[in-house]
Amino acid sequence: GAGVSQSPSNKVTEKGKDVELRCDPISGHTALYWYRQSLGQGLEFLIYFQGNSAPDKSGLPSDRFSAERTGGSVSTLTIQRTQQEDSAVYLCASSRSGNTQYFGPGTRLTVL
Amino acid sequence: AQKVTQAQTEISVVEKEDVTLDCVYETRDTTYYLFWYKQPPSGELVFLIRRNSFDEQNEISGRYSWNFQKSTSSFNFTITASQVVDSAVYFCALNAEWETSGSRLTFGEGTQLTVNP
């Protein structure tokens, strides 16, 4: 596709359940990023992939959060045992290494 | 540590007015990149511009212009003759200090611009 795609666009879950968020980067982009946007915290960096490896995971807020990337393409962000404070919009971006990051439409996560 | 400050939380103007969105940044690096993104009500972050720290030339793109001043660590964004479609949240972002921050973007808090007809 022409841009970064994310699925689902909306996810409502119950507290304590696990969720998986998916990101499909722009074809040929080797770098992939996850950010979170919430009312109180603004836009926060979560994790960065270069190829399939994650040299920077320092933004993940707790060990309930994990992410992987396979084939240098699709990435999945997993949140285990979701809490209400995990409610946010999760944004994915991709770039050619070191260049401008292009963002997807985001996944709005609501934890009840 | 790097930081971006957008002091204007909300700005409201009437269509055709000019408006300037302020951005001030902090970094100890001499090489860095600055960005502006637009987030319309649909929610997607749209890239507007990228500047590197060695290029202080002002840039104009249609009704948009950017004023980068290293002396004041500012990268301000002006919309000339604003239109209702310009209503959005605008984010300024910084990419620097790669040894500690990697390739992440550090965002300001955003400025909500409302253009009224």
User: Which residues have C-beta within 8 Å of that of residue B44, sequence separation ≥ 6?
Assistant: A103, A104, A105, A106
pLDDT digits (tens, 9 = 90+) for B35-68: 999 999 988 999 999 999 988 888 888 999 999 9
**What's the pLDDT score for residue B103?**
80
Closest CA–CA distance from residue B16 to any residue of chain A (Å): 29
Specify whether the CB–CB gap between A2 and A104 falls below 8 A.
no
In chain B, the residue whose alpha carbon lies closest to the alpha carbon of A97 is: B103
Closest by Cα among B36, B16, B52 to A99: B52
Confidence check: pLDDT of B26 > 90: yes
Beta pairing class for B74-79 and B64-69:
antiparallel
pLDDT digits (tens, 9 = 90+) for B65-112: 999 999 999 999 999 999 999 999 999 999 987 766 668 899 999 999
Of B42, B46, B104, the CB nearest to A48: B104
Output the tens digit of pLDDT for each of chain A's 112 residues: 589 999 999 999 999 999 999 999 999 999 999 999 998 778 999 999 988 888 888 899 999 999 999 988 999 999 999 999 999 999 999 998 768 999 999 999 999 9
CA-to-CA distance for B98 and B30, rounded, in angstroms? 12
Closest CA–CA distance from residue A83 to any residue of chain B (Å): 23
Helix (H, G, I), strand (E, B) or coil at B84: helix
DSSP H helices, B9-105, are 98-101
CA-to-CA distance for A43 and A84, rounded, in angstroms? 18
* Interchain CB distance below 8 Å, B47 and A98: no
CA-to-CA distance for A54 and A52, rounded, in angstroms? 7
How many Cα atoms are found within 13 Å in the side-chain-facing hemisphere of A13? 23
CA-to-CA distance for A44 and A54, rounded, in angstroms? 17
In chain A, the residue whose alpha carbon lies closest to the alpha carbon of B105 is: A45
Is the Cβ of A107 closer than 8 Å to some Cβ of chain B?
A: no
* Interchain CB distance below 8 Å, A89 and B43: yes
Which residues on chain A are in Cβ contact (under 8 Å) with B44? 103-106
Closest CA–CA distance from residue B104 to any residue of chain A (Å): 7
